[in-house]
């Protein structure tokens, strides 16, 4: 089987950015930034991206492109059999994330459809809450929409790296960008929109808590799709001459920009209507439909907003599912379509358990160590496997691989081999990145 590749550095950038941009940009990043001191938090977040995000991303890129293999075989090739455990951990983590992520993606798909059908015309706070509760507690509905979201992802992946992932991200990423800009312009031209901008950007160090640093670290990890093998898998399809250092910088910065643009679309609107900014589901599924319904052409805007959220979630899921698809293709020697089918069935099975375990739905009484199935999947992946993967990946590249070999791969065909950045990178990768992640990991566990 000949291994596929992306066709250009720009395609590499769009696909990788597609993985990074997701639900995280829209329902986590803006709110966390606002609550933790706006500009002050942003500053801390950017430092985390520089000291942890980018070094881990470059390490994953190195492992993927050097070996051109899925995470399990990639670790085995570079470090011997015992290191393949890190690859398996990535596969498990990416599946666990998919189980709950696809449930939320299903809600977003259903909201996109509902807003297209004008279901939110004239909603009040009560009816908006009611629609949300009905949406997430209706067993047939949640499963139907989750499966639709999974089928879209499966359809794209079945067409391969170039014909599927590359083509889809080339079409979808520009649409996402245009939609977000339209929502931004509308938000900024509302009266009183400045309050929202202040919430998001005003530098307020007094709101920066000690926990904010850990929050920023965890967020940078999830945001940049690190620690689960997604970036290893995508990098195994990168072009030969892609500058891995530049790509990681571009992706990290563009992803942060999109998070800020999402915040600019959301908070000025929330404040213009004197609403409270809230976190996650409440903001996205209850407050926003209510506010948009009060705007002229609000239903069109709401549809655009949910469409862009669906796109973001979908391109992120492509990379999450591809981790296991690549594994089945290369380790189990199953062809792409069958691999996609098998992985989609596994996710549909466990993912529907996650969707049905949400408060008020049929499995909400099932608890694992006091948590719902949904929360257990989230906890195991985000709080345990992701940081553990990050520590192992950065330590592996920092300590077990000859640095010259790494440098040769990450700046292939480019001039600055002896640049000071590369020396700083090695230092950060060895002495800062794994230790910082270890700190969050221990803190989150206890």
Residues near ligand PFF (CB under 6 A) are 19-20, 22-25, 94, 97, 222-223, 225, 228, 230, 316, 319-320
Cα–Cα distance, 244 to 60 (Å, whole number):
10
DSSP assignment of 146-170 equals: HHHHHHHHHHHHHT-IIIIIIHHHH
As measured in angstroms, the least distance from the Cβ of 222 to ligand PFF is: 5
Compute the distance between CA of residue 376 and CA of residue 369 in angstroms, rounded to an integer: 8
Q: Where are the alpha helices (DSSP H) in 138-284?
A: 139-158, 167-188, 194-201, 210-223, 230-235, 244-272, 281
Phi/psi zone of residue 69: left (φ > 0), alpha (ψ -120 to 50 degrees), beta? Answer: beta
By beta-carbon proximity to ligand PFF, the closer residue of 135 and 225 is 225
CB of 403 to ligand PFF, least distance (A): 26
Instruction: State the nearest-atom distance from the C-beta of 264 to ligand PFF, in Å.
Output: 17
**Least Å from the CB of residue 119 to ligand PFF:** 25
CB-nearer residue toward ligand PFF: 123 or 355: 355
Q: Which is nearer to ligand PFF, 65 or 223 (CB)?
A: 223
3-class DSSP state of 371 = strand
User: Which residues neighbour 435 within 8 Å (Cβ) at sequence distance 6 or greater?
Assistant: none
Q: 7 by DSSP, 3-state: which?
A: coil
CB of 297 to ligand PFF, least distance (A): 28
Q: Which two tokens stand for residue 371?
A: 């948590």
Nearer to ligand PFF, 225 or 254 (CB): 225
Give the residue with the Cβ less far from ligand PFF, 24 or 398: 24
**Smallest distance, ligand PFF to C-beta of residue 94, A:** 6
Q: How far is the CB of 318 from ligand PFF (least distance, A)?
A: 9
SS3 62: helix
Output 187 or 316, the one with its CB closest to ligand PFF.
316
For residues 26 and 254, give the distance between their C-alpha atoms in angstroms, rounded to a whole number: 14
Smaller CB distance to ligand PFF: residue 66 or 223?
Answer: 223
């Amino acid at each position: 089987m000949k291994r596929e590749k992306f066709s250009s550095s720009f395609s590499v950038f769009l696909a990788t950015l597609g993985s990074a941009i997701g639900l995280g940009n829209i329902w986590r990043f803006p709110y966390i930034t606002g609550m933790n001191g706006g500009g002050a938090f942003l500053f801390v977040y950017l430092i985390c991206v520089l000291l942890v995000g980018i070094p881990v991303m470059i390490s994953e890129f190195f492992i993927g492109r050097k070996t051109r293999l899925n995470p399990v075989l990639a670790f085995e090739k570079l470090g011997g059999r015992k290191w393949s455990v890190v690859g398996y951990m990535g596969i498990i983590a990416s599946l666990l994330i998919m189980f709950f992520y696809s449930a939320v993606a299903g809600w977003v798909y259903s909201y996109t459809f509902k807003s297209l059908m004008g279901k939110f015309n004239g909603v009040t706070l009560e009816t908006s809450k009611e629609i949300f509760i009905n949406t997430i507690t209706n067993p047939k509905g949640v499963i139907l929409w989750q499966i639709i979201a999974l089928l879209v992802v499966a359809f794209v992946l079945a067409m391969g790296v170039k014909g599927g992932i590359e083509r889809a991200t080339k079409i979808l990423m520009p649409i996402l960008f245009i939609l977000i800009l339209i929502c931004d312009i509308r938000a900024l031209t509302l009266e009183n929109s400045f309050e929202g901008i202040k919430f998001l950007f005003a530098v307020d160090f007094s709101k920066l808590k000690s926990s904010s640093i850990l929050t920023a670290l965890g967020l940078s990890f999830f945001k940049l799709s690190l620690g689960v093998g997604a970036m290893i898998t995508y990098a195994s399809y990168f072009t030969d001459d892609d500058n891995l250092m530049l790509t990681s910088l571009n992706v990290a910065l563009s992803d942060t920009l999109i998070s800020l643009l999402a915040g600019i679309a959301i908070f000025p609107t929330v404040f213009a209507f004197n609403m409270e900014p809230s976190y996650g589901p409440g903001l996205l599924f209850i407050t926003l439909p209510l506010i948009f319904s009060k705007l002229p052409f609000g239903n069109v805007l709401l549809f655009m907003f949910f469409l862009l959220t669906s796109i973001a979630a979908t391109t992120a899921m492509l990379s999450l599912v591809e981790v296991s698809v690549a594994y089945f293709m290369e380790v189990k020697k199953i062809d792409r379509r069958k691999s996609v089918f098998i992985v989609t069935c596994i996710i549909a099975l466990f993912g529907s358990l996650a969707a049905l375990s949400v408060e008020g739905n049929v499995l909400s009484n099932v608890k694992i160590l006091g948590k719902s199935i949904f929360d257990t999947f989230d906890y195991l992946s985000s709080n345990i496997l992701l940081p553990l993967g990050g520590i192992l990946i950065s330590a592996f590249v920092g300590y077990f691989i000859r640095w010259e070999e790494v440098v040769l791969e990450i700046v292939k065909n480019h001039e600055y081999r002896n640049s000071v950045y590369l020396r700083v990178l090695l230092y950060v990768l060895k002495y800062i990145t794994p230790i910082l992640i270890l700190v969050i990991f221990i803190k989150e566990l206890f």
